[in-house]
Structure 1
Amino acid sequence: MSPEKFLSSSVWRARMKTYFKLMDVDKNGVLTLSDFEEIANRLIQLQNDSSKNEDIREMCHSLFQYFIAGGGPVDSNTQVSEEDLITNVAKTVSLSLAESPDKIYEVGRHKNELFFDIIDTDHSGEISRQEYRKYLAIYTGEEKPDNADQAFDSIDSDGSGSISREEFVEAHILYWFEIGGDQDNSPLPYGQLVDS
C-alpha cells in the first residue's frame, strides 16, 4: 500500500495527530528525543523491576528514530512536526508492508508485547481497567479516566473486562497499519481521536 493511501485517509491522519499530541510532552509543537526520553522515564516509574529500564529506554529511542523521525540519525536537536510525523509514519508503514510485512508485524508485536508487560504491573497476564488508567495517565502525563476507559473498552474486544496480550497487540497493529474507513470502529488505544 502506498504512503498516499495512508495520507489520504482522514481517519488514519486523525490517529497520527492524536498520537502526536499525546507524545509532545513539553507541548512545544514538535516531537523531540527528549519527549521520548521523558516518556521512557515515565514508563520506568510503572515498573517494580529495574532490569527492564534499558529495554524501555532503547524501545523509546528506537521508536523515535525509526518510526517517528523516519529512520535517519537523531540527536537532541532533531525535531519532528506533526506533518513530518504523519509523512514519516506513512512512508515507514507502507514501505515495511511492501518489502517485509512479516518483519514489520513481528517488530510491532515485539514492541507492543513489551508495552503490555510494562502495563501489566501485577503480572496476571491481563491488563485491568485500573492498570490501563494508570498507564495512560503516566504515558500521557494527564489523568483522564473517561478517556482511558474509552480506550480500554475499545481494546477489550471480547468484553471480558480485561485486555489480553493478543487484544492489546492486535489493537495497536490495527491503529498504525490499517487505514480505516469513514465509520472507523477500530481500537483507539490512546482514547478519542483529536479533531484537528
Structure 2
Amino acid sequence: MITEILLGNLVEMTPEEFLSSSVWVARIKTYFKLMDVNGDGFLSLSDYEAIADRLVELQGNSSNYEEIMTLFRDLFQNMIAGGASVDANTMIREEELVANAAKAVSVLQSAPAVGTRKNEVFFDIIDTNKSGEISREEYRKYLAIYSGGDQPERADKAFDSIDADGNGSITRTEFIEGHMGYWFTHPSNQSHTPLPYGPLVEA
C-alpha cells in the first residue's frame, strides 16, 4: 500500500532538475551537516557503521545487526558515494554528496521499494516500544543517534513536519512518506515539505 502511494506521487526527474532547486539542495546540505558529527567536513564509511552500531544499541536487540549494518553500508555506497567503490579511506565532501544524491534519487525514483524498505527498517528500530507509532521522545532519540547529541528543538520541528495529521505520533506511512518525499520529490511537486532532519540550512 505504501509503495503504491509513493509510486503515485513520484515524478521522475533528472539530476539536473533536482540540482536546479535551491530547496532540494538545502535538504541535502542539512542532512550532511547533521551527519558530519565531528565537523571535519567529510562523511565516511566508518561514520555510517558507527550510526548502525548506535541504532542496534537503541533497539536493545542485536538479532538484526547484520541487516542494519548492511543497510548503512549500502546507503553510504549507493547514495552518499554515488555507487562508487568505497573503503575505510573514502571521504565524501558536502558538494560531492549533493551531486551524488541527485544522481542516486533520479535512478531510484523508478524503484521506490528500495527506499521504502530502508525506511521500514528505520521505523521498526525507532519504535522501541513496538506500539506501531513513533512518539516525540522516540524521534528525539533517533535524531540524537545521527547528530551525536540531543537537539530537542530540532527534533521537535522535524517530528511536527512528519506528523501530518498532528495527532502527536508518527505512523509508519507518515514516516516513510516524509523521508521519501524529502529525498525523492522536487519541491515544486509538493504542497507540504517534510523536514525529517530539522530546519533547512541555507543552500
The TM-score normalised by the length of structure 2 is 0.90
The answer on whether the counterparts of 2:159 and 2:196 sit within 8 Å (CA) in structure 1 is yes
The answer on whether the counterparts of 1:25 and 1:38 sit within 8 Å (CA) in structure 2 is no
**What residue identity is the alignment partner of 2:124?**
D
Runs of 4+ in 1 over 2 A off after TM superposition: none
Deviates more, 1:132-141 or 1:158-167: 132-141
* Residues 1:126 and 2:133 are matched in the alignment: yes
* Residues 1:16 and 2:28 are matched in the alignment: yes
Q: Find 2:183's aligned residue among 168, 176, 186.
A: 176
For 2:155 and 2:166, the matched residues in 1 are separated by 15
* Residues 1:155 and 2:162 are matched in the alignment: yes
**What residue identity is the alignment partner of 1:134?**
K
- The aligned residue for residue 150 of structure 2 is 143
- The aligned residue for residue 74 of structure 2 is 62
- The aligned residue for residue 51 of structure 2 is 39
For 1:136 and 1:184, the matched residues in 2 are separated by 25
Percent identical among aligned pairs is 60
Q: CA deviation at 1:195?
A: 1.8
* Residues 1:186 and 2:193 are matched in the alignment: yes
Gaps of 5+ in 1: none
The TM-score normalised by the length of structure 1 is 0.93
The answer on whether the counterparts of 2:80 and 2:100 sit within 8 Å (CA) in structure 1 is yes
* Residues 1:112 and 2:112 are matched in the alignment: no
RMSD between aligned residues: 1.6
For 1:136 and 1:172, the matched residues in 2 are separated by 13
The answer on whether the counterparts of 2:161 and 2:193 sit within 8 Å (CA) in structure 1 is yes
For 1:185 and 1:95, the matched residues in 2 are separated by 23
Q: CA deviation at 1:184?
A: 7.2
Q: CA deviation at 1:139?
A: 2.0
Gaps of 5+ in 2: 1-12
